[in-house]
Chain A
Amino acid sequence: MMQVQHQTADAQTPVDAGGPAQVESQALAGLYGLLGRCLEEEIDLGLLRLIRTELRAPLAEVGWQLDADFIERPEEELLAALAEEFTGLFVAPGCVSPYASVFETGCMFREPCDQAIAAYREAGWDYRRCMSGEFPDHVGTMLGFLAALADAELEAANRGDHGAAELARKRRNLFLLEQVGPWVPGWCRRAAENTLLAFYRQLLLFVEQFLWQELAAITDRRRLKELIALNRRKPKRLDYDADFRKASGL
């Protein structure tokens, strides 16, 4: 879970809150926030009702049609089914591990975790887990961080602090490009293949598409091709660190 530590920008004169940049920031903050929240933990009643009611039409408009099961099933029953799916997909042994460390090294809590927490801290955030077994390099938390940066950009722009807004935008782009882009879209596709409930399958495929759009917007074709190649990678299965093996005397 993200927790704000301090704000970095100085308060300045507010500017027009309805400018195109602010609109974009606000949209990104909202979307990253929703997606991050859906992936970081189980859906709770509040979020379920939000998706079923206010968000149902907007999601449908962009092509995400919530299925009848999701719409009609009794709330309590659906929440239990979603929690079971979430645990099987992202928590229990044999899951599609949602951690960058596991994807990149085959082990939990490795260097990608350090890189994530370093980025959070640099932007004035820290990490505090809610449940045991959670780490900063969780895909949901990383998307949540992008939401926080978009929000910070918006907030800075709204008060006229263009420097802070620009800094937040740069941080967002950098984080997206370096820590999210190389693995999350591909991971989403693989995770989607393992879903049992339509909601999570749709969610994961939606996140994948969204991230590709975002990545395309901030980088050139060459880098994009590199990212596509990186996302075709399968998660690393064994951590072959030759230096480690040597040091271990094996």
Chain B
Amino acid sequence: MSDIGHISRRDFIKLGTAVGAAAGALSLGSRRLVAMEADLGGEDFSSTTGAKRESVPYTCLACNIEDGGVAFVENGRIVKLEGNMDHPNTRGKLCAKGNSGFLHVYDPDRIMTPLLRTGSRGEGKWKRISYEEATSMLAKKLREVIDRSSAKHDPAILNEIVFKWGRNRTGGAVARFMHALGSNTMLNHTNICESSKKVGLEPSWGPDIESCDWANTKYIINFGSNVLETAYFMNPNAQRLVDGVVGNKAKLVSFDVRMSNTSGYADEAYYPYPGTDAAIALAMAHVIMNEGLYDAEFVRDWTNVSARQLIEHLKPYTPEFAEQESGVPARDIRRIAHEFATTKPATTFSYRGPCKHVYGAYQEAAIHMLNVITGNVEKKGGYCLPRGMGWPQPEPNPPKGKTPSPIATPPLYPLASHHVSTHTPYMVMNGEAKVSVWMSYYDNPVYTYPSSHVWEHFLKDEKLVPFLVSFSPYMSETTELADLIIPDVTYLERHDPESMPSGLYPCLSIRQPVVKPLGGTQEFRQTLIDVIHKVDPDGSLGIKKYFAFNSVEEWMKAHFDNIPGLKEDGGYDFMKKKGVWPIYGKVDKDTAKLVDGNGNEVEPEYGLHKKELPASDMADAEVDENGTISKDGHAIGVRIDNRNHVGFGTPSRRIELYKEGFKKFGFNPLPVYKRLPSRDKQPDELVLTTYKVNVHTQSRTASIKYLAELYHKNPAWINPGSAEKRGIQDGDLIRVTSKLGHIVTRAHVTEGIHPEVIAISTACGHPAYGRLAQLKQKQAAAEWAQGGDSDIDNNVWWDDRGVHPNPIIRLAVDPIGGSQGWYDTVVTVSKAQSGDEYGDVKVSLEESIKDYNETLRYAYNGDLHRQNHQEVDIDWDDLPKPELHAGGH
């Protein structure tokens, strides 16, 4: 130490300054340390041990977008999730829900073993049993129905076996199971989601919804979608929307009753009156057609209507009319129509806002038409067809059940090809259908359906639903009512084939266990195999052969090992390794575009309808006077200017703006606007709308702690003017009352909402679904197992779990598409009354049941249908008779 004398701190600092100055551009310091998260999709290492983590690709199922993900696993546990950079549509990004997905796996409130009800239904008393016992029990119940059907020679009895799902991403496993059992009673949740959007589109151009080329567009009109936060394909759509608006300087115009984050990000945002999007879209079409701004060639060649026909049809829909209905100024409608028609390329996007109304299918069809008449369909930067890929079902594949199911395809809704599941409890209560075994999968109607209390009443009644099985790994409001719970694993522990049309690059992906099913739990697919093997142990029923898989992996191999192209790349093994196929290229770090090895952008394919039919397809084909090419009785293409194109997925292979199928049942074959009862509400009433938020699904995420911390209460948005009229201030306790009853919640007074609307998000207000969703630790600490003290002293800092609006939302169904009219309920809003407490829900079952009869008046044989469609030129006394049908438009 004698070599160096005492150095003061001042001297150290001085020296440091000198070193800094001397080093200049030379970077000093460690060259081993790198910033965390510098790259996505690569390797990952433990921050404590330095050990490399195993990476396993998977497909997300936190919501329905099915993003590509990679799980990093250390010591058999998931330690991190991130996006899969090989997925061409999600490009290495996961949303907050996806990032939090691992919490589903380790949630202490997860159901880890089959439970058999021991108390009365819904009492919460259980006995644990093994998967072996549970699958035997279910098989016995199913076999009883099969034997009864057989003894009575009545295949319709098999339809008493009901399978209802909310989210079914099993790649055909459920249909295989139900068809093997001989039942057609499969019910999805699509009618509480976007079924009327689909039915507004599909008869016009083929299956599923639009895939906009946001990144390359110049002009976007958004109708009622919060695409930057939620909506179908949120993650890929949001990325590409940002690419388009920021990278390509596209203009975004948004119509929404609420200032969503998408409207907030728009160049122009408008608040139309709920349910008037069609009036706006038709007025824009009116301007475009009348001022000659349409794409004459596209309308002539690729639609089944003439320009003259459209101009005539659109006559009443002037911008002034639209202003009167929607409140959006006519001058703006006219200007936006001009801009949309003259800015190329352009596209619309729409989601639940327009379609979740009675007559939602018309609204969607009107919006779709804007893209058609401006010739933006299947153009770069335009409004493109969805792009998905299929996979083969293992052979032998069971045929459908012999008899159509009245509750799967209600006779009064012949065009609603995506089921009308909201009607099921009412139909069964009315004796229109019978249930013997009800199976519930990823579904929670007691919470997620309108008049949700009706579902609780229905599922609690053992006479109506004699045996109720849930496959849920979480104790949802519906699962609480089950007789038997056979828990599935979470999506990070199981297998499924996937292909979502979430972008312009069609691809297949795989969901595979990134860790072993926790605690020896069993994946659903194995449960299906076990049940069928017990229903038909010796194969004498002839259904065991459909489930002749020795393992779940063998089943998956049957899907993936025989796909041309993938087979050569390695089939199932390739999917396990990469998670997605094909690999289009790499994501460029600067532009985020997909590029090939030379750095050139890999462009998606456009103009799918213009693909030429190969000569082999044309052999023995016939061409009719309209150019439709048919073979073996099926339309396979369309001839235009002597070229044989594959066309669109319609009978004429053109875009069918005129839908003959609609007219058959007295609906207008062309897109129209129908004024809804909510438009004629009393001045003191408001229209109740709901919305999703960016960190929650409808029902499955409230117990995920990261997400619950981010968003856990849902006050009602109300405009300052509307609030002032009612003497309501921000944060006040308010009573929201519909014809069904009332809820007591809090007001959020904000300019970001239409003055005639009150909006409540659907993310919160669970009476079940685990300790965090319910905040039971705080509310009933003494009764709640984990807490002995209401003084929550560490991390749950919030004390509000929200109030769910669904009990007061009235059943009202679109008679065409079958969608629930979520945004058609009229309410009064007042300050809470004496004795009201936050979270109170008081509703009438009887009033809800009346709504079923009311909404049937809109069905095709109802009195209101005829009254509302006097313009349709058909013989009203000779409408088709209601009959069981396979469903379709």
Contacts and interface: CB of A to CB of B under 8 A. Distances in A.
Interface in B419-475: 474-475
Contacts of B107: 107-108
A131 B786 contact: no
Contacts of B518: 108-109, 133
Nearest to A129: B520
A91 B786 contact: no
Interface in A71-97: 80, 83-84, 86-89, 91-97
Nearest to A236: B794
B47 to A, nearest CB: 6
Given A94-B771, A108-B106, A249-B99, A234 B522 contact: no
Nearest to A196: B125
A94 B44 CA distance: 35
Interface string A41-74: 0100000000000000000000000000000000
Given A88-B125, A96-B786, A247 B36 contact: yes
Interface residues of B, number: 60
A145 B33 CA distance: 44
Question: Taking chain A's interface residues, is the majority helix, strand, or loop, or is none over half, making it mixed?
Answer: loop
Contact of B113 (A96, A133, A245): A133
Contacts of A235: 786
B546 interface: no
Contacts of B792: 237
B306 interface: no
B664 to A, nearest CB: 50
Interface string A222-250: 00000000000011111110011111111
Contacts of A238: 705, 794-796
A99 B109 CA distance: 12
Contacts of B782: 193
Interface in B678-736: 705-706
A246 B36 contact: yes
A133 B79 CA distance: 20
Given A94-B109, A193-B788, A133 B99 contact: no
Contacts of B47: 243, 247
Given A80-B118, A93-B475, A249-B99, A237 B786 contact: yes
B788 A234 contact: yes
B80 A248 contact: yes
A37 interface: no
Given A93-B474, A114-B75, A84 B118 contact: yes
Interface in B737-786: 770-771, 776-777, 782-786
Contacts of B551: none
Contact of A244 (B79, B520, B787, B795): B79
Given A107-B108, A109-B518, A92 B115 contact: yes
Contacts of B48: 243
Contact of B106 (A87, A89, A109): A109
Contacts of A237: 771, 777, 786-787, 792, 794-796
A235 B788 CA distance: 10
Interface residues of A, number: 48
B111 interface: yes
Interface stretch (B126-134, B248-256, B630-638): B126-134
B674 interface: no
Question: Taking chain B's interface residues, is the majority helix, strand, or loop, or is none over half, making it mixed?
Answer: loop
A162 interface: no
Interface in A110-147: 110, 114, 129, 131-135
A40 B544 CA distance: 37
A240 B75 CA distance: 20
A248 to B, nearest CB: 5
A219 interface: no
Contact of A240 (B103, B113, B785, B795): B795
Contacts of A193: 782, 788
Interface string B29-47: 0000000110000001001
Contacts of A89: 785
Given A88-B126, A131-B113, A250-B99, A93 B770 contact: yes
Interface of B: 36-37, 44, 47-48, 75, 77, 79-82, 96, 99-100, 103, 106-115, 118-119, 124-128, 130-131, 474-475, 518-522, 705-706, 770-771, 776-777, 782-789, 792-796
Interface of A: 42, 80, 83-84, 86-89, 91-97, 99, 102, 106-110, 114, 129, 131-135, 190-191, 193-194, 234-240, 243-250
Please list the 7 inter-chain residue pairs (A to B) with the smallest Cβ-Cβ separation, ordered nearest first.
Answer: A133-B112, A107-B106, A238-B795, A93-B475, A133-B113, A93-B109, A132-B520
Given A94-B784, A237-B792, A238-B705, 15 more contacts: A42-B128, A91-B112, A99-B108, A107-B107, A114-B75, A131-B130, A133-B112, A133-B521, A190-B788, A237-B771, A238-B794, A243-B48, A246-B36, A249-B37, A249-B82
